[in-house]
């Protein structure tokens, strides 16, 4: 995404969060449960991830450009008409925290048992994270396991009856050799695309600025 569009999105992110980027004292609100309820947000303490649901700020939605839609069509082999900018977006920010850097809870999306997602065709075609600031090493960049969209699919196809549902496949993720993960260190405007079955994880942010990102999937 062009820097001009992405930086406007970054400005909008701070506006949506009602925080001052230059005043870390204002960032503490991300773990305030009363504020989270007010702004339709939620905090995941296991990953220091703060989510704001259903955002429709125009400068956030503008980040979903026509070039991005075309890129997803190329990556998936689907018709371009399959992809349209979303009507709202999910904010997923990781705030700084103390302690050693690590990642937490490697997983693939769609494995929540209560939602009963079928493994095939799966709950989505492609997922995306748009980063709206520059992420330094160990600054909360997404961790990914390259190639796992193929190895996890192979496991699912080995026993379609057993793995009818995504949650059952998730239970056996530990049986797969995931190889070495890669930590992303994106710049403002970079996009992380990941496919059905791709294993990834949130990582701890041990730097001094929040990691700002938008998520949407098709």
What pLDDT sits at residue 187?
97
- Phi and psi torsions of 170, nearest 5°: -60, -35
Question: ω into residue 121 within 30 of 0, thus cis?
Answer: yes
**Integer-rounded Cα radius of gyration of the chain:** 17
φ, ψ of residue 24 in degrees (nearest 5)? -55, -20
* pLDDT number for residue 173: 95
The pLDDT assigned to 33 comes to 53
Full pLDDT tens readout for the chain, 218 residues: 999 999 999 999 999 888 899 999 888 766 555 444 444 556 555 556 788 888 999 999 999 999 999 999 999 999 999 999 999 999 999 999 889 999 988 999 998 899 899 999 999 999 999 999 999 999 999 999 999 999 999 999 999 999 999 999 999 999 999 889 999 999 999 999 999 899 999 999 999 999 999 999 99
**Closest alpha carbon to 168 in 124, 126, 105, 116:** 116
Q: How far is 85 from 102, CA to CA, in rounded Å? A: 33
Tokens matching residue 171? 């239970």
Strand 182-183's sheet: what is its strand order? 103-107, 200-203, 143-144, 182-183
Q: How many C-beta neighbours within 10 Å does residue 175 have?
A: 7
Task: Please give the pLDDT value at position 31.
Answer: 56
Q: CA 154 to CA 156: how far, in whole Å?
A: 5
Tokens found for residue 199: 């294993």
């Amino acid at each position: 995404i062009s820097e001009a569009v992405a930086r406007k999105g970054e400005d909008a992110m701070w506006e949506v969060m009602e925080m001052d980027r230059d005043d870390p004292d204002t960032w503490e609100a991300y773990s305030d449960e009363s504020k989270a309820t007010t702004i339709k947000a939620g905090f995941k303490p296991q990953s220091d991830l703060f989510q704001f649901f259903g955002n429709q700020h125009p400068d956030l939605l503008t980040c979903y450009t026509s070039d991005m839609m075309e890129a997803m069509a190329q990556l998936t082999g689907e018709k371009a008409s399959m992809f349209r900018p979303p009507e709202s977006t999910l904010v997923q920010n990781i705030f700084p925290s103390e302690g050693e850097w690590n990642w937490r809870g490697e997983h693939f999306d769609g494995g929540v048992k209560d939602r009963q997602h079928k493994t095939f065709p799966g709950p989505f075609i492609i997922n995306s994270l748009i980063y709206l600031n520059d992420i330094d090493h160990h600054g909360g960049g997404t961790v990914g396991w390259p190639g796992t969209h193929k190895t996890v699919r192979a496991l699912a196809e080995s026993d379609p009856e057993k793995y009818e549902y995504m949650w059952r496949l998730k239970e056996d993720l530990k049986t797969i050799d995931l190889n070495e993960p890669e930590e992303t260190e994106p710049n403002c405007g970079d996009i992380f695309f990941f496919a059905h079955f791709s294993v990834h994880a949130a990582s701890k942010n041990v730097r001094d600025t929040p990691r700002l990102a938008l998520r949407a999937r098709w």
